[in-house]
Amino acid sequence: MASLETIEQALEKVKDPEIPVLTIKDLGVLRGLERSLDGKLKVIITPTYSGCPAMYTIEQQIKQVLSRLGEDAVSIETRLDPAWTTDWMTEEAKQKLQDFGIAPPEGSSADKRALFGEERQVTCPYCKSRNTFMKSQFGSTACKSLYQCKDCGEPFDYFKCL
């Protein structure tokens, strides 16, 4: 029986299939590991968005990684509450996103803007200009918006605050 520490390390290999530079730990999708008295292992995860299609793949990958450690009777629990927030993303994760060409979430999800609040100022991940604008609130996946840089002209994804 592998220790929880070994298991946690192994789970670091599980990446978000849509953003392959981030692990489920970086994202804050992995919420916990529990071993019950009878030896059963439970992995607790939380979805980024309720309809996130990556969750199924993530579950499959978790099972695969753990079965290599001889853990076959794993249950995966999806826990909704507290709801996932971009605030759980580590600084390291934000840096990885930036290097990958996705602007990381800026500010905290807690700052509630009015219905038509100012658009957030987002830094271009390529030339670091702040002179950017939102082209579309919804991007290639539920968690991103589409922005464009007015200085270098590049369109880019912004990981929006949730």
Among 149, 157, 159, 160, binds Zn ion (CB under 5 A): 149
Q: Which amino acid is at 116?
A: F
Identify what 127 binds: other proteins, Zn ion, none; CB under 5 to 8 Å per kind: Zn ion
Nearest approach, Cβ of residue 147 and Zn ion (Å): 10
Residue 74 CB neighbours (<10 A): 18
* Beta-bridge partner residues of 148: 133, 155
Using the rule CB under 5 A, which residue among 129, 136, 137, 140 binds Zn ion? 129
Is 69 or 146 the residue whose CB approaches other proteins more closely? 146
Q: How far is the CB of 54 from other proteins (least distance, A)?
A: 11
**In this complex, which beta carbon is closest to Zn ion, that of residue 3 or of residue 129?**
129
Q: For 28, how many CA atoms within 13 A lie in the half-sphere containing its CB?
A: 18
- For residues 141 and 139, give the distance between their C-alpha atoms in angstroms, rounded to a whole number: 5
